[in-house]
Structures are given as structure tokens and as C-alpha cells.
Structure 1
């Protein structure tokens, strides 16, 4: 063991960095244990890189591990989530954690370490993007469905309640709004996703078109027009088309794959399926729309029911906003507050209109 360097404050900081690096490496190993193939290899490589950083701080401490604290609360939370879930949420949080690295301004961290942390953030962003693509279709329907259910049914319940009608009328109006909205959302989401798939399929290459490639005239290569139609510059399209046709003739006129036409197939994971999107939209709209009705289901009425319904919906809006923020790699707090402001703002307008109509009718 060599003699420790630095001041007492320096050593305390190095110990904190050492603890965080060990915890981050553990997070990546936990995530890797729940994955296979390339993603597993990437996560294990990240854990190895964190191990190099750990060795740097341990070297500055002269190998003295005494007094190493626990990792910070964010990193410990990541570790707990990785052990229990190993989900996209953990990768999204890890992406934000890598972006907060202090190494760029720390005089005792090397430039390579600071660069590593920035690149780690991009690696985790890429892994998180894979998960987001897998979630995109169903998750979009779920979030929009829950948010619409919360806001629309709260607005409906508050607007009707503000007119002064009896509580049972408010209750049955809320239930009717729940069923009508959930069915409408489910049907609309199914049609939307199916239409999106049909549009993408219409843009996909004709599988039989590649059969014409061996017979194309090398000197008047019509394939270049395909590439130009797909966005290539004329010179680049001509060069690429000539290479494709020459390759086809060189292998005894065997057709090349469809991607020789320069078309990438659409991402099924990102689009989702019509049925799964419809079911998610229906269920999440219904669950969201149920919340503002709960006080009336339990016999409450008047202002207490309004206040409780608003509070419950506010909590749910904060949760959905924070979830979207986490998955998008943005600030959960900002997204949560934005969701709350928009949702309660819409409900407040309806409530004021209900008061006005109630006064007029009365």
C-alpha cells in the first residue's frame, strides 16, 4: 500500500467517487444479468470501464479503502431497481446519471475519464432507445389513454357537479364518460395504428421487383431512378446503381435481396400492433377516468367530493408526467408539473363553466 496523496478533503472526495464507481459498475452488471447477446456484452463492457475509474481513485488513495462511504442515493436507487426490475426505467435513469458526471471539472480526474463518462451516456442512451422502440407503440397509447381519461372525466365530473345536480347524477355521468371515452379511445387507437402500418407497408419495396435486376441494361440503368426517388443525389444514385447491377451480373444473375432497392423496412416495434395499442388505450383510459369518479362511488358529494377528485387526479397526473420524463431522459419534475398544469387547467375551465351554467339555470 502506497502513501495516500492529497488533502483530507481530496481524499474524502476520492472515496465518494470510488463508492459511486463501484455502485455504477454493479448496476451495469445487474442489468447485464437480465439480458442476452449484444446488449449483455455492452453492459459488461460499461461495468469494466467503471472498474478502470475505480482503480484510478483507489490508486490516488494509495489502496486505502478505509472510510469509503456508501454510494449516493441516486446510484443506490439505480442498483435496487436494476436488481428487481432491470427495465427501461433503469437505463433512462442511468443515462441521466452519466450526464451528471463531475469529472470534466474535477482536477484529479483524467481527460480520458471525463470523455469516458460522456461516451457512456451515449451508450446508455442507445440501449435505452432500443427499449423505447419496443415500448413506443403500446406505451404511447397507454400514456395518452391514462392522461385523457384523467383530464376528460375530471372535467366532465367537475363541470356537471358545478351545475348543482345531485351526486348520483354526477356519478352516472362520470361512469358514462368512462365507458364512452374508453371505447372511443380504443377504437381510435386501433384505426390509427392500423392506418400507420398500412401506410408504411405501401412504401415498402415490392418483393418481386428484385427479380428484374439481372435483366437491367448496364448502360441505361433504371435502378438509379429508384435511389434518386429515395433521396440520393443523382451522381451517388448512378454510382450505387451501377455497383448493384454489376454485382448481380457477377454472381450469375442471382437476384440480390430487396434492400438492394435502397429501402429500409419499417420498424414494427416502434409502430406497435393495432390490437395491443387499442387494449392499452382502453384499459388506461378507463383506469384514469375511474379516479375522478371514486369520491362519488363512495357516497361523497358537493365540495368535498370535488376537492378529493381533484387531488387524486393531480397525484395521478404527476405520476404519468414523471414517468414520461424518466423514459424520455428529461427532467421528471418538469414533465410532472407540466402534466399537472395542463390537466388541472382544463378541468378548472370546465368547472367554472359549470358554475356559470348552474347559476343561470338556477
Structure 2
């Protein structure tokens, strides 16, 4: 049950060992600068072998979207066995300068297969603002033209405040679970079109740009409700916690910014924890701050911490505010090396503090004018781990 990915899901047809690596290079038409990867935080790959869905609702074309299967032709899975039901649309080089309305190239349609499921949506791509000194854009997901209202919108903010006009583009992920819109809960057998949209934040100026050069990905999956007690076979166990307009301003915290609880049902499973929301620095020229997750009061020790950092180094005369969507996500086996979490309730919390090696904390903002959410999952123990070679 993945959520959030940097690249489209490739069709690897043969069984065997595959090597996956992250590379960086120059964007077409732009000079290459001084680059850094994995600054002051943990870098991780999360790779999952995902069975093909029980229907043919998947698109690997470059045109965006696909022709959905007719409801009368759908194959209904056995309700006593978990079958992943997912949909996937990719588009390269969207390069859309629209400041308001739907980004039509991102449209991805699906037919809901089962009752009593939530719809998990994850959009990955590039969000940015062009040639502005004080501007704010809000990107959000709609279902047949309506935002999610049960429990909350799926959105992200890019807000830039600088002493002179600049252009900023960030690789971003918008993700969340949704049960329905103002029109009601999602209905089995009905066709839904999922689209990324953009609008101005309040009275700020906006010169938005979506999908600069890279590939945009829309991933959609039906998540069934957890069962208690759990069945003998694998069945998803998860929880989502949302908070709108968190707007937490702090210079490092001894108290949690946001928290969420999951009830772990089995002793031999791991926890996949993910936080998605808006993060940014305020009024600093050279600074570094780190957001991190704890489980039952401790950072993950098996395998490593789950965190993200923002570092900026500007001229002493500049004080820039740059707020953007952020995702902090990872698998955790237990509180100690080679350990696992016990069954029962586990509390996951978000904190922020200065980066390692820095003795000074700077003011940050978390959850600016958008929804902040935890998605927690209980997952089966991986058969193997990645080797960072």
C-alpha cells in the first residue's frame, strides 16, 4: 500500500534482482549549480513489489489518464482475500503556467470497485512560482470537480516572500485518504476523475508553474477498513489523522506539533509512518532546521531516523521565507536495533529542532494554511533490506 513516489511504477516483468538508484543531472536549458543530496537527514528507498490490480485500470502512456473499465465489466474480488486495487497515470513535461483552475494534464480516472473503502491519492511532481517576491499558490486534488471533505482536503501550499523577485520550483507530494466530497461518500461502480488544481492563497500575487520538465504521477488506491480482530491472512491495518491550518510557529519544540495513534495488531510486523504537510523557514539568511518523527517518545532506531531537513544559505542582507509541501516517511521495525514493536497502541509525533552540528534554532512554520496529516500503516516484515552500495 504505497503512498508517495519520486518515479512512475515501471513494468518489470521478470522475477529477479533489480538495482535502483537515485541520480541527479542538469535540467534542459538551465546551467547546473552546486548540488547536495541527503543534507542533515536520513535518505531512504522504499521499494514494494505490487501485484497488478484485479482490473485493467492502469495507464503507462504519456498522454495522461486512461479509458476506465465499464462498471459492468469489473471483476469483483473475493471479499475474504485482500486484493490491491490501484490506478496509475503518468505525464512527462506538463509545464503548465496556469495560475487558477484545473491542471487538465494530470487527470486520472477510476471506477470504485468495492464498498466500505477509502480512496488514497498521491500526486508527485514539480510545483513552483515564477518571478515573484511575495506570492502564494495552493495546489489541491478534486474528485469529479469537488475537493475531499471527509475528512479533509488534499492540498499543499507554496509561499515565497523574498526581498526581490525569484523563481522557485520544488519536487512535491500531495497525498491523503478520502471517503467522500460534499456530494457524499464515494459510490461503488461509479466513475471518478481525479485532477490537480491550483489557486491563489488569499490576496497574494501568484505566477504559478506546475510540472517543470519532470514526470508527474497520480497514484490511486482503494484502502479497505481495518478489521479487528485481524484475519489469519494479510489485511491492511492503518490510521489517518488530519488537522487543517495547523500554522505552528516555533523555534524548536519540546512539545509535539502533531500526533497520531495506531493500534498494532500483530507482533511480527513493522510500522510505516508518513507525515505530509507544509514546512518552511522564517526570516533567516543561513539556517538549518530538521523535522523528525518519534514513536512512543523515541526516534526510530531500526533501521534509522525518519526525518527531513531544510537548509538555506543566503546573503546576510537577504531574509527569505520559502514554505512548501513536505513529506516525512519511512518504515520502522522497532525502538531498538533488531527489535519489533509490541501489539497495542503506539503514538507517533512530529517534532522540529535545529540540525545536527548547529547550536542555534530558527523560527519555522509547519502546516501553513493547508491540511497536515499522518498516515500510519502496519506492514508485513520485509524479506530483505536495501544495501546502500
For normalisation by structure 1, the TM-score amounts to 0.17
For normalisation by structure 2, the TM-score amounts to 0.16
More helix by share: 1
More strand by share: 2
Higher CA-based Rg = 1
